Amino acid sequence: MRSAAGHEVNRAKSVGIWIRVSTEDQARGESPEHHEKRARDYAELKAWRVREVYHLEAVSGKSVMGQPETQRMLADIASGHITGLVFSKLARLARNTRELLEFADIFLAQGADLISLHESIDTTTPAGRLFYTMIAAMAQWEREEIAERVAASIPVRAKLGKPLGGQAPFGYEWKDRHLVPHPEEAPVRKLIYELFLQHQRKKTVARLLNDAGHRTRTGARFSDTTVDRLLRDSTAKGERRANYTKSLGDNKGWVMKPESEWVLTPVEPIVTEELWDQCNLSLRDRANGKKPARKPVHLFAGLAYCTCGQKMYVPSNSPKYICYRCRNKIPVTDLEGVFHEQLKSFFFSSSEITAYLEQADQTIKEKQELLGTLETEAQKTKREMDKLYNLYLADEISREGFGDRYHPLEEREKQIADQMPHLQGEIDFLKVQYLSSDEILTEARDVYSRWLELEQAEKRKIIENIMEKIVIGKEDVAISLCYLPSSAEIMAERQHNLMDSSRRQA
């Protein structure tokens, strides 16, 4: 009964015949027909049914995995259309050892059999299954050897700054095997940090990027998760990390390696280290349960430091900035008076004005780069829309499919179209405002003369823009100024606020 049952199983087995005979073999008289007849005779003796014949005549055995017939055969194995493959010898299946082991892995995973007539290997027999076990062991050994060689080469390649596989981070590209800022993505990457520093909300940053028409490299909308990942990536500040994670295998994820094994290589930064540190400090605070700080009430809150290094604050029951460590203090009104006088020296210093103009030029350049990115994105979106429309006209896409793909592109095009004039207007405004040093000097003196007329919120905004910090000693005050906006910007902002206030009252 067992013999009869086994015979029925064999009779039901469906196999394919693999024929690969090189040109040289055919010249020696080994015709494809000869190999096919030999395989059919063997299948007939085993009472197997030949379902398919895979022809790879004159195909080199150096690499066969990518051949169409190979892919057809593997698809038949995966679907169960055939459950075994008969061939004349192992070298006819593949001459590349790695591909041979790969075939063995695939067949073993699918529960299919390999039958090599020359080597008398038939995995439907006990001896053949032993061979299969040996092949599987060899494949595992080969994989471990490859993994060890790759792992050993990674630190060396990382230290040399060479690619380790995968895409460059958003904002960068590989050029001549070096990581350099991407001309279109880098301005957007920089904008992410600036928006986060301003709004302190990842979802807000993602929304603003999407509303402006920006998209990820794959064309997807930005998410808070993407923003978080890009903010934390140190490549943007000029420090590329490599060899800092390792795979757990079997799709179990990744873990961080000890910092002693990390490889850090310098690259051209997109943002300053200070900006990166500020954003990541905020991310760490939020991870530890700290919420973004409330808007400061006093002009120099968060910017006033004592000479001992501690920040100074204005208690609710005191009109003075106080250092809680060394009890150093200064009246609020005195500190504002000192700052006002510092503005005067800044405005009348030609070197400071020169530095200001250089900063203005950089601001214009950055906005022009961002505009260029939007223009490129607009052209890309238009090409995608035209391609979809042509497919629709050629009846290669349904009306529903066309609508599902076209409407997001249309919305994206509108967002970009709305954003570009606004950005171009900013550039035009800045170019006009920074036309000459005489005009800048006039603008600066205008801010100084109007200082006492400005409201507290307007003063605070100016301070945030032009001052890095203010250090208060026992006898003196040191103010570090960085960037000065033009009075036209300040007054325009004031006018905007007044209009908003009027609308709310109405």
- The residue that leads in pLDDT, 106 or 57, is 106
Same domain, 498 and 377: yes
Place of tokens 């993505």: 185
Same domain, 493 and 357: yes
Same domain, 362 and 223: no
In a domain, 309, yes or no: no
Out of 282-291, 307-316, 386-395, the most confident range is 386-395
- The residue that leads in pLDDT, 297 or 277, is 277
Residue type (1 letter), 284: R
What CATH number does the domain containing 260 carry? Answer: 3.90.1750.20
Does 53 score more than 90 pLDDT? yes
User: pLDDT, tens digit, for every residue of 338-382?
Assistant: 887 877 766 656 565 566 666 667 777 888 888 899 899 999 999
Q: What is the mean pLDDT of residues 264-292?
A: 84
Q: What is the mean pLDDT of residues 299-311?
A: 87
Q: What is the mean pLDDT of residues 417-431?
A: 75
Same domain, 378 and 469: yes
Does 16 score more than 80 pLDDT? yes
Q: Is residue 270 a contact partner of residue 186, using CB atoms and an 8 Å limit?
A: yes
**Alpha helices (runs of H) in 68-125, residue ranges in sequence order:** 68-79, 90-93, 97-110
Phi, psi for residue 262 in degrees, rounded to 5? -65, 150
In a domain, 211, yes or no: yes
Same domain, 16 and 140: yes
pLDDT mean across residues, the chain: 76
For residue 423, how far is the Cα from the chain centroid? 25
In a domain, 125, yes or no: yes
What local confidence, expressed as pLDDT, does residue 122 receive?
A: 77
Q: What is the C-alpha separation between 381 and 387, in angstroms, rounded?
A: 10
Q: Is residue 18 a contact partner of residue 56, using CB atoms and an 8 Å limit?
A: yes
Same domain, 198 and 265: yes
249: left (phi over 0), alpha (psi -120 to 50) or beta: left
Same domain, 277 and 369: no
Copy the structure tokens of residue 183.
């001309």
User: pLDDT, tens digit, for every residue of 456-502?
Assistant: 777 777 777 667 788 998 888 887 765 444 434 444 554 454 455 55
What local confidence, expressed as pLDDT, does residue 266 receive?
A: 84
Residue ending a domain, among 232, 267, 287, is: 287
In a domain, 330, yes or no: no
To the nearest whole percent, how much of the chain has pLDDT over 70?
Answer: 68
Q: Compute and round to an integer the Cα radius of gyration of the chain.
A: 35
Residue 479's beta-bridge partner residues? Answer: 470
Query: For 96-170, where are the E strands, in sequence order?
Result: 113-116, 121-122
What strands, in cross-sheet order, belong to the sheet with 304-306? 304-306, 467-472, 477-481
Residue 362 to residues 195, 346, 358, 426, Cα–Cα distance (Å)? 18, 20, 6, 14
Place 103 in a pLDDT band, splitting at 50, 70 and 90: confident
What CATH number does the domain containing 54 carry? Answer: 3.40.50.1390
Residue ending a domain, among 147, 164, 198, is: 147
Residue ending a domain, among 240, 257, 287, is: 287
Q: Is residue 447 a contact partner of residue 462, using CB atoms and an 8 Å limit?
A: yes
What local confidence, expressed as pLDDT, does residue 7 receive?
A: 41
What local confidence, expressed as pLDDT, does residue 193 receive?
A: 94
Establish how many alpha carbons lie within 13 A of residue 115's alpha carbon, considering only the half-sphere containing its beta carbon: 25
In a domain, 360, yes or no: yes
Other CB atoms within 10 A of residue 281 CB? 10
> Largest Cα–Cα distance of the chain, in whole Å?
110
Does 188 score more than 90 pLDDT? yes
Q: Is residue 275 a contact partner of residue 193, using CB atoms and an 8 Å limit?
A: yes
How many domains does the chain fold into?
3
Of 56, 105, 52, which is closest to residue 83 (Cα–Cα)? Answer: 52
- The residue that leads in pLDDT, 165 or 121, is 121
Q: Is residue 469 a contact partner of residue 478, using CB atoms and an 8 Å limit?
A: no
What is the span of the domain harbouring residue 265?
A: 172-287
Copy the structure tokens of residue 484.
């000065």
Same domain, 490 and 356: yes
Strands 263-266 and 239-242: antiparallel
Q: What angle do the packed helices 185-199 and 273-287 form, to 10 degrees?
A: 50
Same domain, 251 and 377: no
Does 131 score more than 70 pLDDT? no
In a domain, 492, yes or no: yes
The SS3 call for residue 311 is strand
Q: What is the mean pLDDT of residues 224-248?
A: 82
Q: What is the mean pLDDT of residues 79-97?
A: 82
Q: What is the C-alpha separation between 87 and 21, in angstroms, rounded?
A: 11
Q: What is the C-alpha separation between 462 and 469, in angstroms, rounded?
A: 13
In a domain, 41, yes or no: yes
Copy the structure tokens of residue 370.
């961002």
Residue type (1 letter), 119: E
Same domain, 360 and 497: yes
Does 141 score more than 60 pLDDT? no
In a domain, 322, yes or no: no
Copy the structure tokens of residue 438.
């005489």
Same domain, 138 and 204: no
Same domain, 86 and 6: yes
What local confidence, expressed as pLDDT, does residue 5 receive?
A: 38
Place 100 in a pLDDT band, splitting at 50, 70 and 90: confident
Does 74 score more than 90 pLDDT? yes
What local confidence, expressed as pLDDT, does residue 171 receive?
A: 93
Q: Is residue 272 a contact partner of residue 289, using CB atoms and an 8 Å limit?
A: no
